[in-house]
A and B are shown apart, each in its own frame.
Chain A
Amino acid sequence: MTAVAAHRALGLTDAEYDGIVEKLGNEPNEVELAMFSLMWSEHCAYKHSKRLLRRLPVEGPHLVMGPGENAGAVDVGDGLAVAFKVESHNHPSAVEPFQGAATGVGGILRDVFAVGARPIAILDSLRFGELDSARSRYLLEHAVAGIGHYGNSIGVATVGGEIMFEGPYEQNCLVNAMCLGIARKDRLIRSAAAGVGNLVVLFGALTGRDGIGGASVLASAELGEDDADKRPTVQIGDPFEEKKLLECSLELLDRGLLASLQDLGAAGLTSSSSEMASKGGVGIDIDVSRVPLREADMEPFEVMVSESQERMLCVVEPERLEEVLAVCDKWDVRATAIGEVTDTRRMRVFDGDELVGDMPVVALVDECPLYDLEPAPPEAPLYPPPPRALSADASPEETLLGLLHSPNLAGKSWAFEQYDTLVGSRTVRRRVEGGRSVQSATADAAVLSLAHDGGTGAIAVSIDGNGRRVACDPYAGAVEAVLECAANLACAGAEPLGLTNCLNFGNPEKPHIAWQLERAVAGLADACRALDVPVVGGNVSLYNEGGGGPIYPTPIVGMVGKLPDPETVPGSAFREEGHVIALVGPFEPYVQGSEWHKLNGELAHGLPQVDLQAHAAALAAVRETVRAGTLASVHDISGGGLACTLAECCIAGGIGASVAWKPSDSDVEAASYPALSRLLLFGEGPGGWVVSGPAEAVDAIVGVSVQRLGEVGGETLEMAASAATLSLSVGDLRNAHERGIPDRFS
């Protein structure tokens, strides 16, 4: 293969190749070309997104570590910090779902313990095609099994997540994983290599040929017909190896033996070593002949770009090497000094005595050309409308049961029961749909006690996003993702401290995708500013296009908040006969982009814009109300609108409710009666919560609009909205909700 053909096969343009030649002063050899192609891939260099990401707010009062480190971190009081990040593993999961999802979990765990935090929780955000497709069922089943396989074996609880099904994810599923870790604030460690003459030590698993080209060939290109050929670019995970690596890394840090630490993720040794060198303003020499190999005859370039899992790189003072090796030996973790920190500011790769690669660190890490997007809104609809799944004349009862039974709104116990939600003894609220015990009933956000870590109170965490709504309106959809996450946190009484995001989009070189990306980032930025929540780090996943066109633009948002007392978290279940039910917040439902719209085969263009200041005030009011500890339940209104939200409260509590929502006069003028009923029952939008509790608790809510709807009791949900009424037993509601996923597998 000629050099020119080689660089194209590795994903570099001719102009980029010329740039590399210029920076090196000569043609790159095989090792150098392989390393540049990875470091200059979208996955490592963010060349199409970096300028855009600068618009996101990254400062906040609780920030400890911002973007640029392996994970961001926020202060949760009592000298403790919580580190967290979300990352995608989309293309590997589309090609090989079990290992793709498993190593997605493994990678995000390493990002968190690489900053010195003990991982305590995992959340996942998954997207597949419609479940009537055999391929989607296959991907769902194996991705869930892969997450369970890795997460369950490593002693980190999977505490939450979301799963949605939409046609445009058929070929290109999304697997985003978020991890949270906890550390003493003063013990967090950065990845900048320091100290000329210090040793670079690789520890963990053997290096093999798995995952070669993962970042460039797989992650930074569209999927095509030859997906199966890309299987060798998918890494293979070994959670037992990672469990040892995790405990070993934390003990090395506890003993103060490391100058810096970095995990090996995408682009393996290449990115980990060169990024450490870049951040530290130093050079690094690596001798590939010292890297312990899984296969004997690997070429130097293969060693440098292998993405074999469960490996870490650290910088160690020479006199502490023996101690480091002893700790690794205790944990049965292989550790080898493979290089050293130099003052050359060059990445040099040796094979024994022979110099096989020599590049300026700055050229490799920091000088990848950045591209401006050329955004243009699409002239014609990008996505076909979804197939109609509900008859046009469905009664309110049929509609509600159809919504609860639809895969997006149906109970996800089928998946969540395959995850260990308990390990660590911190999980106070978790996903228990229809659980018997009120104490363990589901809440909108996972709540993790800090008591065992020497802290007070608890943290709450949620992960959210809705690609269909972003497809309708990239700006408003992204704003809603942030509001939805914050609304879930408010249900637990938590104040948001920081946010992480994963931007899953199609090919940014196409103007309409660039437009989606730019509008969505603007929405995220405005919503974060309005809520005063900094973005502490995240991930961009572009080129998510299969044969059927681009995925829905899918920004996923993960948010971490703090609450003073986990005892006050009410959960979402209605609890007691006679409790008052109220609708709280500036909720103005609309059908565009809703599940109801989808089941009726419609996809809207444009969504109403929200008043962010009003929503920020409502979030604060709900948060304060929850903290008072007087409410019996709080549940935010999301998919399926008010009717589905009420149904979920009834199902979780095993008790009925009787409610009526009468529109104001202006609403009556704005909509005809059948349409208005539908809007009130099934319309969606941010900023609404259903609460229940004793009358005096509901009356005590201040700072936000409160409308009494009715009361808890009986064995049916009786609902009146404008001219429509519906009546369904809690048993029928539960059956529809519980059977939604299993019925698609039978």
Chain B
Amino acid sequence: MKFGVVRFPGSCDEHDALLACRRFADAEVLWHKDRDLKGVDAVVVPGGFSYGDYLRVGAIARFSPVMEAVTEFALAGRPVLGICNGFQVLCEAGLLPGALLPNTSLRFLCRDVDLVVENADTPFTRACSRGDVLSIPVKHTTGRFYAPEEALDELERQGQVLLRYADGHNPNGSARDIAGVANRQKNVFGLMPHPEHATDPLAGSADGGRIFESLVAHVEELVAA
């Protein structure tokens, strides 16, 4: 099992994502100018400020050569995880529903939050149970999940809301406390909290490891089948 971690100019958390992935499997960097995904089994689009994010978060990264390959990979049903800026990029690329707007405070916010697992029946959450509470930090200025009401109803009906901020923990004003959503097929998942920063109890929490653990179990099951 090998993870590929995309690196754009301006990526900040790609090293952290690599470290987190390597706790559970192999991992290597995918360069933004390349179209080659090097045979990886799952792609992580990490946090940061891709291409400076001076236009609109994720707007430029979506046009990078590597994202063409990631899009093909995703459309083929392979797992893609977008964290923070990665979530924004996947929304811009049309691989995930909704959009991310500036926090209601209009400020960058770095804080530990509690998340409730809403759907444990996906490649990203299978190591959890529905209702589990995970402590994972958030850090972003633009993380308020938005979609029209009907679209939100549809996301809920289809079980695409995988993680919700626990009561009183919504840091950014996200609609219906949504912290992370998947596409309809559940093979693309984006979340604002940073599971890669929560894989070591010494650093505060290891709850984020459950996401990586889930992905490894999913890929290994596919290989075995």
Contacts and interface: CB of A to CB of B under 8 A. Distances in A.
A566 B201 CA distance: 12
A436 interface: yes
Given A148-B108, A155-B48, A425 B197 contact: yes
Interface in B199-215: 200-205
A247 B14 CA distance: 13
A425 B19 contact: yes
B16 A423 contact: yes
B173 to A, nearest CB: 16
Contacts of B108: 148, 152, 418-420
7 closest Cβ pairs, A-B complex: A240-B52, A440-B204, A155-B12, A153-B49, A422-B197, A425-B16, A148-B108
B110 A417 contact: yes
The CB with the most chain B CB atoms within 10 A, among A428, A440, A566, is that of A440
A121 B21 CA distance: 23
Given A420-B139, A422-B194, A240 B10 contact: yes
A421 interface: yes
B83 to A, nearest CB: 12
B19 A452 contact: yes
A71 to B, nearest CB: 21
Given A155-B12, A424-B16, 14 more contacts: A148-B108, A152-B49, A154-B12, A240-B53, A416-B110, A417-B111, A422-B16, A422-B139, A428-B202, A432-B112, A439-B201, A439-B202, A440-B205, A449-B202
A587 interface: no
Given A424-B16, A425-B16, A436-B112, A152 B10 contact: no
Interface of A: 145, 148, 152-155, 238-241, 243-244, 247, 331-332, 416-425, 427-428, 432, 435-437, 439-440, 449, 452, 566-567
A331 B32 CA distance: 11
Nearest to A248: B9
A567 B201 CA distance: 10
A419 B110 contact: yes
Contacts of A155: 11-13, 15, 48
B107 interface: yes
Contacts of B25: none
25 contacts: A148-B107, A148-B108, A152-B139, A153-B48, A153-B53, A155-B13, A240-B53, A243-B49, A244-B9, A247-B9, A332-B9, A416-B110, A418-B108, A419-B108, A420-B108, A422-B139, A422-B194, A423-B12, A423-B197, A425-B196, A425-B197, A439-B202, A440-B204, A449-B202, A452-B19
Nearest to A145: B107
B109 interface: yes
Contacts of B11: 155
A331 B11 CA distance: 12
Interface in B66-93: none
A243 B10 contact: yes
Interface string B5-33: 00001111101100110000000000000
Given A425-B15, A436-B112, A440-B203, A240 B49 contact: yes
B146 interface: no
A437 B202 CA distance: 11
A425 B21 CA distance: 13
A423 B16 CA distance: 7
Nearest to A333: B9
A746 to B, nearest CB: 14
B39 to A, nearest CB: 23
Interface string B110-142: 111000000000000000000000010101000
Contacts of A449: 202
Nearest to A438: B204
B202 A239 contact: no
Given A421-B110, A425-B16, A240 B9 contact: yes
Contact of B10 (A153, A424, A428): A153
A419 B111 CA distance: 10
Contacts of B201: 439
Contact of A437 (B15, B20, B204): B204
Residue of A148, A153, A449, A566 ringed by the most chain B CB atoms within 10 A? A153
A153 B54 CA distance: 11
Contacts of A566: 202
Interface string B163-187: 0000000000000000000000000
A428 B203 contact: yes
Contacts of A416: 110
A145 B15 CA distance: 25
Contact of A420 (B19, B110, B112, B196): B110
Nearest to B13: A423
A81 to B, nearest CB: 20
A427 B139 CA distance: 15
A418 B109 contact: yes
A735 to B, nearest CB: 16
Nearest to B202: A428
